[in-house]
Amino acid sequence: MLKKLLCIACAAALALGTMSLFVGCGGRQVEYDPDNFIADPDSEQIVKEKITINMFTMKASIQGQWEDMYLFQELERRTNIHVEFEEVGLKDVDQMKGLKWEDTENPTDAFFLGNQPYEIAQYSQLGALRELTGYDEYTGNTEQNLLELYAPNYSHWMEEYPEIERVTTQADGKIYAFARVALNAEGGEVATQYINKQWIENLNLASFGDTYVGESGLPETTEQFYNTLKAFKDYDANGNGNASDEVPIIAAMNDASLHFLSSAFGFVGTGIEIDNRETVLDDSGNEIPNPNYNKIVWVPSTQEYREYVQYLNKLYTEGLMHDGLFTNNDTNLNSLGIQGKLGSFTSSGAYFVVGQERDDEYVALPPLVSEHNGTQMVWEYAPRFDPSALIIPKTTPYYREIIRWMDQLYALENESLQYRGEKDVHWREIDDMEPTYDPIRGEDLKRWELIVPEGMDEIAFQATLTYQAGLGNAVFTTVDYDNSGDPYRMKMIEERQTYYPYLKRHLPQISHTAQELEEISALEDSINTYMKNNYGRFINGEQDPFNDATWEEFLNNMARFDYQSITQKYAVAYNRAFPDAPCANELQ
C-alpha cells in the first residue's frame, strides 16, 4: 500500500515537473492611450504619462546595459519615455533577430541598428513594417506623412541631402527605415593603408631614381611598391642589426589591405562591381578608352583580377607578405607592430597596431596604379547614408512616439550626447588648440577631450555614456565627431584625408525587391564558394595564376556558376535606380 502511494506521489511530482515546461505564456498587458502622445515636434517631452517601449538592438562586448548609459538616461529625462533595450551580442544578432520577429508574446517595438537591406526589403514586402511615409492613423491626417509631422530634424537632413531619400526608398516607392547619417567627412568610411616612411628614409630609397618611390617620396605604382617591399625585406630597414626580421607587408584574408592592392589594378573588390574608369592603359602605357566603361562586371572574370592575383602570388611566394595570411588576426598584427617589424599594414589608425611611440613612423599610402590601370581608387567600406538605423514593426501602437524619440538623435544640439555625454561633466573644451570650422553649423568648433576617470580605458568610459563605443559611428555625426583634441586621433583623421578624392563603392546603393535579392543571393553564394576555394590556392601557389591553361580552367569552371545572370540582375536593378544614367550592360 505504501509503495503504491509512493508511486502515485512520484508520478504526480514528475507530471508537475513536465508541466513546468509549458509555463511562460503571457503577453503585454498595457493598453495604448493615443491621447498620451504630445504631437508638438518642438516640445522635448513626447508623452504625458511615462511609458515603456521595447527596442531590440545589437551590442559590442565592451558595452554594459544600455539603460544605464548616460545618453539614454538623459533622453528619458527629456522625453519621458523609458526604453527597455534587449541587447544581443554581435555574433548572435542575426539569429536572435529572426526569433524576435516570431515572438508574439514579447514583441519588440523597434529594431535599432544593424538592419540589413534584405530584411527591410522582404519584411516591407510582406507588410510587416510600418511605413515612415505613411499617415497617422490616430488623427486621420492624410496631408502630411509621419516623417513630416513628427521628425523635423530628420526631414531637414533629407531635404539637404536627397541621397538619403534615394537610399532609403524601397522598390515600392515608400520609406521604411531611418538611415544612419554620417556628415563628418566628404565620404563614407575608409581604412588607411599605412607604410613605414621611416624605413624608406633609413634605406634612402629616394636616391635611386624612380625604382622605389615616386616624386612624393612614397611608392606610386605596384612595381615601385614591390621593389620597396623587397628592399624592406633584403636590407636592415628598421636598423636593429638584423636584416631579415622585417615583415614588408602583413594582411589577413578579406581585410582592407587586399582591397587596397586590388584597387591598384582597377577594381576595389572581388565580387560584383561597376567599372567607371573611362580609360585604361595599353601595354606601352598609352591611354585607351575602357571597353568595359560603365559596365557591371563580375570581377573574377576580368583580366584585371588575374593581374591582381598574380601580384599577390608574387608577394606571398617570395616571402614579402607575411605567410600567416590565412590565419592572421589583430593579435598577430599588434604583436609584430609593437616590435617595430611591420612595413605596411591596414588599420583605421596606426597607433592601434604599433603603439603610440611608433605612430610617427607611418604615413598613409595613396592609392597605387599599375601597368594597365592608371585610375587611383580606394574602397569605401561603409557609405555616408546607410538605411539601417531603425525599423518599426507594424504591430506596435507606439510608432509615433518612436519616430519622435528617434528624431531627437538627429538634432544638431543633441549630437554631442551621442558620443561624449555632458559638457564639463564628461568632456571639456580645449581652449588652446586651433578650432575647426563646421560648414553645417557655420561656426568654429573648439576641440574637445573626454574627462576619463582614473584608471579607466577611454573606450570603456565612452561605453558607459553611449551606444556608439565599439559599434562604429553614431546614428548622426558631423565634423564635431572628429573634432577630438587627442593628437593621435587628429593624425589618424588627417591621414584619412588622403583617400577622399578616390573613394569608390563597388556599386552605388540600389534597392532590390526581396525576390531579386533571394535569386541573387542564391547564385552569389554558390559562386563565392567556388571563389573561396580557388582564391587561396592561387595566392599560395598551389595553383599557378601565371599558367594560361590553369586560368582557362578556372574561368570555365566559374562559368558553370552562371555569373552572367548575376550581372544581368544587378544591371536591371541599377537601371531602375538610375533611369537617366543606365549602365552599359546589354540586357536580355
Partner 1 sequence: MKRQSKGDFAFQIVVYVLVALLCVIFLYPLIYILSLSFSSPEAVYYGQVTFFIKDYGTSSSCARS
Partner 2 sequence: MKEEVSVLAESRESSKTLPGKTGKKKLRAWYKNWQLYLLALPALAIIAVFCYAPMYGIVIAFKDYNVIQGIGGSPWADPIFKHFTEFVTDPYFLDMLWNTLRLSLCSLLVFPLPILFALLLNEIRVKSLRTTVQIISYAPYFISLVVSVSMCFTFLEYTQDRVGIINRMIMLFGLEPVKFMESAAWFPWIYVLSGMWQGLGWWSITYVAALTAIDPTLYEAAEIDGASRLRKIWHINIPGLLPIVSITLIMNLGNMLNVGFEKVLLMQTDLNYASSNIISTYVYEKTLGSVIKQYSYGTAIGLFNNIISLVLLLGANFTAKKLGGETIL
Q: Please report how close the Cβ of residue 315 comes to partner 1 at its closest, in angstroms.
A: 23
Q: Which residue lies nearer to partner 2 by CB, 494 or 562? A: 562
331 binds, among partner 2, partner 1, none (CB under 5 to 8 A by kind): partner 1
529 binds, among partner 1, partner 2, none (CB under 5 to 8 A by kind): partner 2
Cell numbers representing residue 491 in the block: 593624425
The CA-based diameter of the chain, rounded to the nearest angstrom, is 105
Q: Please report how close the Cβ of residue 314 comes to partner 2 at its closest, in angstroms.
A: 17
Q: Which residue lies nearer to partner 1 by CB, 460 or 490? A: 460
Q: Please report how close the Cβ of residue 486 comes to partner 1 at its closest, in angstroms.
A: 23
Q: Exposure of 249 by Cβ count < 10 A (0-12 exposed, 13-18 middle, 19+ buried)?
A: buried
Q: Which amino acid type is present at position 467?
A: Y
Stretch that binds partner 1, among 31-39, 92-100, 182-190, 328-336 (CB under 8 A): 328-336
Stretch that binds partner 1, among 147-155, 331-339, 429-437, 572-580 (CB under 8 A): 331-339
- Out of 139, 141, 242, 335, name the contact with partner 1 by CB under 8 A: 335
Cell numbers representing residue 588 in the block: 536580355
- Where in 380-439 is the site for partner 1 (CB under 8 A)? none
Q: Which residue lies nearer to partner 1 by CB, 27 or 455? A: 455
Q: Please report how close the Cβ of residue 335 comes to partner 1 at its closest, in angstroms.
A: 6
Beta strands 447-450; 427-430: pairing state: antiparallel
**Any idea what DSSP says for residue 410?**
T
Alpha-carbon distance of 156 to 92, in angstroms, equals 35
Alpha-carbon distance of 452 to 421, in angstroms, equals 12
Q: Please report how close the Cβ of residue 331 comes to partner 1 at its closest, in angstroms.
A: 8
Q: Which residue lies nearer to partner 1 by CB, 302 or 332? A: 332
Q: Please report how close the Cβ of residue 533 comes to partner 2 at its closest, in angstroms.
A: 5
Q: Residue 244, interface with partner 1 (CB under 8 A)?
A: no
95 binds, among partner 2, partner 1, none (CB under 5 to 8 A by kind): partner 2
The secondary structure of 100-146 as a DSSP string is HHH-SSS--SEEES---HHHHHHHHHTT-B--TTS--TTT---SS-H
Give how far the C-alpha of residue 210 lies from the chain's centroid of Cα atoms, to the nearest Å. 37
Q: Which residue lies nearer to partner 2 by CB, 18 or 29? A: 18
- The answer to whether 106 and 500 have CB atoms below 8 angstroms apart is no
Q: Which residue lies nearer to partner 2 by CB, 56 or 535? A: 535
Q: Provide CB contacts within 8 A for 450, sequence distance 6+.
A: 420, 426, 427, 458, 461, 462, 484
Q: Which residue lies nearer to partner 1 by CB, 286 or 335? A: 335
Q: Which residue lies nearer to partner 1 by CB, 336 or 539? A: 336
Residue with C-alpha cell 617589424?
341
Q: Please report how close the Cβ of residue 459 comes to partner 1 at its closest, in angstroms.
A: 13
- Where in 159-198 is the site for partner 1 (CB under 8 A)? none
Q: Provide CB contacts within 8 A for 145, sequence distance 6+.
A: 132, 133, 134, 135
- The answer to whether 399 and 390 have CB atoms below 8 angstroms apart is no
- Out of 20, 29, 284, 331, name the contact with partner 1 by CB under 8 A: 331
| Measured CA distances, 154 to 166, 279, 508 (Å) | 14, 40, 22
Q: Please report how close the Cβ of residue 28 comes to partner 2 at its closest, in angstroms.
A: 19
Q: Please report how close the Cβ of residue 205 comes to partner 1 at its closest, in angstroms.
A: 30
Which parts of this chain interact with partner 1 (CB under 8 A)? 331-332, 335
